[in-house]
C-alpha cells in the first residue's frame, strides 16, 4: 500500500511543479466526487461519504465527506505547495474568509456536466450552482480582503475540474436517460458543456485550469456490478472490466484533449489549460496490481486519480 501511495504522490507532482512555476497561491475545485471535500454532507442525498470507512487515513482519521480513505488530489496539491494542509468544502460552515483566499472545493459527488439530468438524479450541486457559489465566494473575498487581494487569489489560483464520468454512467449506462443521443453524440454534448464551463471560469478571472480526464468507466465497481445484474449474473462473479465502456472513455478523452488544446489560443496567451491523464495510470494499476502493492485493483479504482508529468509540463511551459 505504501508503494502505491508514494507512486500516487509522484504522479501528481507534475501538477504541483506546474502550479509552483505559475505562482499558484490558491486551489479551487469543481465537479464530482473526485474533488468533493464534503459539500454533500448537508444535502438530502445518498451520495455522501461522512461515515466509515471513509477517512481512515485522513488526518485525525475523520470521515469528512471526502470520497477517499485519505486526502484528495486537491488536498495533496495544496499541501505540497505549502498553501494549506487540505482544501475545505465551500459549504462547510467552518470555512473562513481566509480559507476562501487560498481556495475551497465547490465539487459535489454525483454531479456532472449535464445539468438538466445528472445532478437532479442524486439531488446534488450542479456545476451551474457551483459557479454561482464561486461568484458568491469571490464577492465575499472582495468584501473581506479588498479588490486587489481577491483578484490576486483568483488570477493566481489553480482551478481543478473533474466532470463527465457521472453523466456517462448514469445517463447512458445505468438508467439510461439520454436515449436521444448516441454515445458519441452525448460525448460531444458533454464536451460543449465543458467548453462553456471553462469559458465561464475564464470570464470570472481563472487563468490556470487543469481538467482531469475520464477514467476507464468499464472498470468502476458499480458499472461492473450493474452489467452483471443486467445479464442475470451474480454480482460477485467474474469481476472483469467492461471493454466497450472503457473504449467510450478513451474516445471521450480524445475529444477532451482536442478541446483543451484549442482553448488557449481562443482565450489568450495568459491562459494555461492542462489535460490531466487518468486513464493510462488507472489501467496500468488494474493490469499490474502487484507492481503497486495491491492484490485486486478493480475494487479500489479511484486511488490513482492523478496528473501526468509530460502533459502538464507541456501545458504550463515547464522544461
Number of domains in the chain: 1
- Residue 137, CA distances (Å) to 73, 104, 196, 221 in order: 22, 9, 20, 36
Of residues 72, 67, 108, 87, the one with CA closest to residue 25: 87
Q: Name every residue whose Cβ is closer than 8 Å to that of residue 288 and which is 6 or more positions away in sequence.
A: none
CA atoms within 13 A on the CB side of 64: 29
Domain of 160 in residue numbering reads as 2-315
Q: Rounded to an integer, what is the distance from CA 227 to the centroid of its chain?
A: 25
What is the pLDDT, as a whole number, of residue 22?
A: 63
Task: Calculate ∠ Cα 189-195-201, nearest 5°.
Answer: 140
Residue 303 cell numbers, joined: 486511488
Q: Which long-range contacts (CB under 8 A, 24 or more apart) does 251-258 make?
A: 251/183, 251/184, 251/187, 252/164, 252/168, 252/187, 252/190, 252/191, 252/214, 253/213, 253/214, 253/279, 255/187, 255/188, 255/191, 256/164, 256/191, 256/194, 256/211, 256/213, 256/214, 257/213
Helix (H, G, I), strand (E, B), or coil: what is residue 47? coil
Q: Position of cell 458533454?
A: 190
Residue 126 cell numbers, joined: 450542479
Q: How far, in Å, CA of 194 to CA of 265, rounded?
A: 17
What is the pLDDT, as a whole number, of residue 218?
A: 95
Is the Cβ–Cβ distance between 68 and 34 less than 8 Å?
A: no
The sign of the CA dihedral 85, 13, 267, 195 is negative
CA atoms within 13 A on the CB side of 80: 20
Q: What is the CATH number of the domain that holds 122?
A: 3.40.50.1110
Of residues 129, 102, 99, the one with CA closest to residue 116: 129
Is the Cβ–Cβ distance between 28 and 39 less than 8 Å?
A: no
- Residue 96, CA distances (Å) to 90, 102, 159 in order: 9, 10, 19
Q: How far, in Å, CA of 28 to CA of 130, rounded?
A: 11
Give 10-residue mean pLDDT values along the chain (319 residues): 40 52 87 97 95 92 93 90 95 97 98 97 97 98 98 96 97 93 98 98 96 94 86 71 96 97 89 90 85 66 41 39
- Strands (E) across 35-181 are located at 157-162
Residues making up the chain, counted from first to last: 319
- Residue 141, CA distances (Å) to 26, 96, 156, 271, 280 in order: 13, 10, 14, 22, 38
Q: DSSP string of 8-34?
A: HHHHTHHHHHHHHHTT--EEEEEESTT
Q: What is the DSSP letter of 114?
A: -
Amino acid at each position: 500500500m505504501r508503494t502505491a501511495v508514494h507512486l500516487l504522490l509522484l504522479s501528481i507532482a507534475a501538477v504541483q511543479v506546474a502550479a509552483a512555476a505559475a505562482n499558484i497561491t490558491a486551489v479551487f475545485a469543481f465537479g464530482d466526487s473526485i474533488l468533493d471535500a464534503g459539500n454533500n454532507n448537508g444535502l438530502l442525498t445518498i451520495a455522501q461519504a461522512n461515515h466509515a470507512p471513509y477517512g481512515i487515513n485522513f488526518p485525525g482519521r475523520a470521515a469528512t465527506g471526502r470520497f477517499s480513505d485519505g486526502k484528495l488530489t486537491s488536498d495533496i496539491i495544496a499541501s505540497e505547495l505549502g498553501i494549506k494542509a487540505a482544501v475545505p468544502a465551500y459549504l462547510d460552515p467552518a470555512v473562513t474568509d481566509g480559507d476562501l483566499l487560498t481556495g475551497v472545493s465547490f465539487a459535489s459527488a454525483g454531479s456532472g456536466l449535464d445539468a438538466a439530468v445528472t445532478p437532479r438524479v442524486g439531488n446534488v450541486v450542479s456545476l451551474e450552482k457551483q459557479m454561482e457559489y464561486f461568484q458568491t465566494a469571490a464577492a465575499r473575498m472582495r468584501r473581506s480582503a479588498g479588490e486587489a487581494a481577491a483578484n490576486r487569489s483568483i488570477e493566481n489560483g489553480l482551478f481543478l475540474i473533474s466532470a463527465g464520468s457521472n453523466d456517462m454512467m448514469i445517463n447512458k449506462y445505468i438508467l439510461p436517460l439520454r436515449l436521444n443521443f448516441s454515445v458519441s453524440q452525448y460525448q460531444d454534448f458533454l464536451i460543449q458543456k465543458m467548453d462553456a464551463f471553462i469559458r465561464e471560469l475564464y470570464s470570472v478571472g481563472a487563468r490556470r485550469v487543469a481538467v482531469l480526464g475520464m477514467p476507464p468507466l468499464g472498470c468502476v465497481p458499480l458499472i461492473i456490478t450493474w452489467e452483471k445484474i443486467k445479464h442475470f449474473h451474480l454480482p460477485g462473479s467474474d469481476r472483469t472490466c467492461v471493454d466497450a465502456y472503457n473504449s467510450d472513455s478513451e474516445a471521450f478523452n480524445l475529444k477532451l484533449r482536442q478541446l483543451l488544446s484549442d482553448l488557449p489560443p481562443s482565450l489568450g496567451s495568459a491562459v494555461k489549460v492542462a489535460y490531466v491523464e487518468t486513464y493510462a495510470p488507472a489501467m496500468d494499476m488494474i493490469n499490474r496490481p502487484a507492481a503497486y502493492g495491491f492484490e485486486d485493483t478493480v475494487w479500489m479504482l479511484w486511488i490513482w486519480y492523478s496528473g501526468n508529468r509530460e502533459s502538464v509540463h507541456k501545458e504550463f511551459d515547464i522544461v
